[in-house]
Amino acid sequence: MSTQPVNSMSKQINIAIVGGGIAGLALALGLKRKGLSCEIYESVPEIKELGVGITLLPHGMRELAALGVQDKLEAAGIENLESVFFNRYGQYIYSEPRGRHAGYSVPEVGIHRGKLHRILFDETVAQIGEKHIHTGHRCVGVDQDEAGATVHFVDPATGTSLPSVRADVVVACDGINSAIRKQFYPNEKMAFSGINTWRGVTKHKPILTGKSYMRVGSIETGKMVIYPIVDNIDADGNQLINWMAEIQRDSAAMNDWNQSGKAADFLDIFKDWKFDWLDVPALIANAEQILEYPMVDKDPVSQWTFGRITFMGDAAHPMYPRGSNGSAQALIDARTLADELSKTNDPQLALKSYETLRLAPTAKIVLTNRATPPDFIIMKADELSGGKPFSNIDDLISQDELRAISDHYKQVAGFSLESLKA
């Protein structure tokens, strides 16, 4: 299938991408495949491999495969074999195969977020050229008129104004704290419901299959999400295990985005979580790095596109980091916008078409992640057991009923096997 735009006029569109994260880089690569050019403006002065783990679900990996980076991502991460659910007593509730093992054409991969970003960045440099990626540019606003839009920047290190940039299209890929979104929704607040999270990475022997994505417990009494992201990290056969701890407290103050986490702040919640298959307190205590974050999102809005300006990724639909879905939706956003821009000479029409295709589906995921996320399986088991240990999960609920909960989330999020095959 041709990757060239429908008409040559659309090659002349000047596109400014504000933000060089997953969404911005994927959009740049997608535009290149359509014969369109762009300039990327990123606030950090240097791209570094920061953060902890991320899971690339099949609908996200499908987009990354189309951008030509699947092989590199598989080499840098670990392919998931299964997803497994346990209650806070370490009792098995449900499991299912994942990725290729569930019949998808692409794998589900756990990877260090910094590795993912580096692979996308290097590919973008190779495809569009480093001169088109402008680091050290923090966006502080955008104006527009009938002929185009003007993006304003400062140097993040000094606050000094940098030359403004004219463009036909401006795409805000500048994250949950997007300066561009704030310009259109100045009174908008983060939605914080008392859930705080801590994320860490720990060297550890392979857990279960060594390719298992594990959810343990629920937010009311403490929850852990655990999966490997680097294999054979040393001569002892250890993996680098990514984990996230969550707890909901009605009176909780919101965690600090910019603060390193301390195990002492939450380890007491998990002190008794010593199972025959994992010692959770030891996993936390032996972490090489702990970061703390609040579990926040924003209420869906009715409009992303304002003339020549539109939102993408976390700037468009910030959602709870549940179901590993934020990055996948950003990747789908990027492909959709690149497609729409390649179809018409009218960039404003393309931006509205993109919004029409993506706003409603992502809003539904934001709300589903709040109410019935994938770990609703564990919440349902706790409800049926009264929060106590059980003899056998099948005495409480059938595996078919649990599978239906899982399948419902996949359908909403857009990665059911049937939808991806279609």
124: enclosing H helix or E strand = helix 113-128
DSSP 8-state code for residue 279: B
Interior/surface letters 56-69, b for 16+ CB within 10 angstroms, e for the rest: bbbbbbbbbbbbeb
What's the rounded mean pLDDT across residues 67-77?
97
More confident residue, 400 or 259: 400
Give per-residue pLDDT as tens, 7-40: 444 447 999 999 999 999 999 999 999 999 999 9
Whether 8-50+128-189+306-370 and 78-107+190-296+374-421 share one fold: the answer is: no
Give per-residue pLDDT as tens, 151-201: 999 999 999 999 999 999 999 999 999 999 999 999 999 999 899 999 999
Distance between CA atoms of residues 352 and 312, nearest Å:
13
Q: What is the pLDDT of residue 2?
A: 41
Give 390's pLDDT tier (boundaries 50, 70, 90). Answer: very high
Q: Specify the pTM.
A: 0.93
Give per-residue pLDDT as tens, 115-158: 999 999 999 999 999 999 999 999 999 999 999 999 999 999 99
Q: Do residues 48 and 383 touch, judged by C-beta distance below 8 A?
A: no
Q: Where is average pLDDT lowest: 61-65, 92-96, 375-379? A: 375-379
Q: What is the pLDDT of residue 47?
A: 80
Give per-residue pLDDT as tens, 239-248: 999 999 999 9
Give per-residue pLDDT as tens, 335-349: 999 999 999 999 999
Residue 24 phi, psi dihedral angles, 5° rounding:
-65, -40
- The superfamily CATH assigns to domain 8-50+128-189+306-370 is FAD/NAD(P)-binding domain (3.50.50.60)
Give 399's pLDDT tier (boundaries 50, 70, 90). Answer: very high
Domain boundaries, the chain: 8-50+128-189+306-370, 78-107+190-296+374-421
Strand order in the sheet with 53-56: 53-56, 109-112, 78-79
Distance between CA atoms of residues 115 and 285, nearest Å:
24
383: enclosing H helix or E strand = helix 376-385
Scanning 56-107, the segments in alpha helix (DSSP H) are 58-66, 70-76
Distance between CA atoms of residues 74 and 63, nearest Å:
14
> Could you tell me which CATH class the domain 78-107+190-296+374-421 is placed in?
alpha beta
Residue 235 gets the label, from left (phi > 0), alpha (psi -120 to 50) or beta, of: alpha
Q: What is the pLDDT of residue 422?
A: 73
Residues 6 or more apart whose Cβ sits within 8 Å of residue 256: 292
Q: What is the pLDDT of residue 4?
A: 46
What are 214's strand-pairing partners?
84, 226
- CA dihedral for 313, 315, 316, 321, sign (positive or negative): positive
When the pLDDT of each residue in the chain is averaged and rounded to a whole number, the result is: 93
Above pLDDT 90, what percent of the chain?
83
Give per-residue pLDDT as tens, 302-319: 999 999 999 999 999 999
Q: What is the pLDDT of residue 258?
A: 66
